[in-house]
Amino acid sequence: ARQLHAAAREIAATSTSMPQTAVELRGLPGIGAYTAAAIASIAFGEVVPVLDGNVERVVSRLLASAEDPKKVAVRRRLATEAAELLDPHRPGDSNQALMELGATVCVPLRPRCDACPLAASCQGLASGRPESFPPARERKAPIRVRHRVAVVSEEERLLLYRRPDDAELLAGTWELPWAEVAGGEFLVSEAESLAASEAVLAERYGGVWRLETPCGTARHSITHRAITLEVWRACVQPSGTVSEGRLEPGFFRRQELGDLPLSSQVRKVLAKIEPS
C-alpha cells in the first residue's frame, strides 16, 4: 500500500496521465516487470508478454528447455517466445489465457496435455517427459534462527516500535521489540543467554530491559530463514520507551492494532498473547 501511494503521488507530480507502457510503468515505485507488463497489456493493449511462473513453465515445455528460467538470458528467450504467442489485437486476453493455461492445464505435476491447445507444437510433450521442463530448482535448506520477542504492556496497552521509512525491509511498519539469539548462545546458560538478548534490546531500542516470563512460541518463515519466535513478557525502565535509535515507540490498545501496518510475524506473536 505504501508503494502504491508513492506511485500515485509520482504520477500526479510528474505527468498528466497514467503511464501506459511497460517501460514507463516500471519506473514507478513498487512496480516490477511482471506487474508492469500485466497492466500495460491488459489495461492499455500493449503487446508485451507477462512472464509469471505459470507462463515460464508453459514456454519452457513448448521449447523443451532444460535451462533455469530464472537466469537472465534464459528469461529473455522465454519472453521472446511468449511474445510470439500473443494475439496483437488482444494481448491482455492472450496473457491471461497463458497464465490460466499454466495454472490449470500445464501444471507442474501430471499436466493435462490432452486438454492443451498448444500440445501439437509442444516439444516437451514430444519428448515424452513434459514434467521434466523446466528443471526443478535445487531447494536450499532453510537457515534456522531464534528470536526473542518482548511483550511490554502498560495499562492494557502494548509497546511497539515503528520502523524507519527508509528501512530495507518492512519500512514504516510497527514491530514488537525483538532480539535474535546468536548461535553461540545455545552453548551458554539460560541466564547468560537472556542477558545477551536484553543487551541487544537495549542497544536497538534504548533503555534497560528484563525478559521475565515466557508465554509461548510461534513459527515464521521469510525467504530462506525458518524463525522460531520465543514470546516473553518483559519490562523496560521508563527511559526505554523513548528510543535512542531511529525507531519511534508507541503504546497501543489491542483494538487499535488493526489500524496499524503490522507484519505477519507480529500478528503471529499477537495471536499468542492476551493483553494484561
pLDDT at 243: 47
pLDDT at 220: 94
Instruction: Tell whether 179 and 68 lie within a shared domain.
Output: no
Domain interval for residue 68: 2-132
Instruction: Tell whether 40 and 157 lie within a shared domain.
Output: no
Domain assignment present for residue 138? The answer is: no
Domain assignment present for residue 108? The answer is: yes
How many independent structural domains does the chain possess?
A: 2
Instruction: Tell whether 234 and 162 lie within a shared domain.
Output: yes
CATH classification at residue 109: 1.10.1670.10
pLDDT at 77: 97
CATH classification at residue 198: 3.90.79.10
CA distance 62 to 120: 10
Domain assignment present for residue 61? The answer is: yes
Cell of 197: 538478548
34-80 confidence digits (pLDDT tens): 999 999 999 999 999 999 999 999 999 999 999 999 999 999 999 99
Domain assignment present for residue 276? The answer is: no
CA distance 81 to 67: 15
Burial class (CB in 10 A: 0-12, 13-18, 19+), 208: middle
pLDDT at 234: 97
Domain assignment present for residue 9? The answer is: yes
pLDDT at 187: 60
Residue finishing a domain among 99, 132, 165: 132
Instruction: Tell whether 105 and 166 lie within a shared domain.
Output: no
Number of alpha carbons in the 13 Å side-chain half-sphere of residue 183: 2
Domain assignment present for residue 34? The answer is: yes
Instruction: Tell whether 110 and 40 lie within a shared domain.
Output: yes
Which ranges of the chain have pLDDT less than 50?
A: 240-243, 276
pLDDT at 246: 60
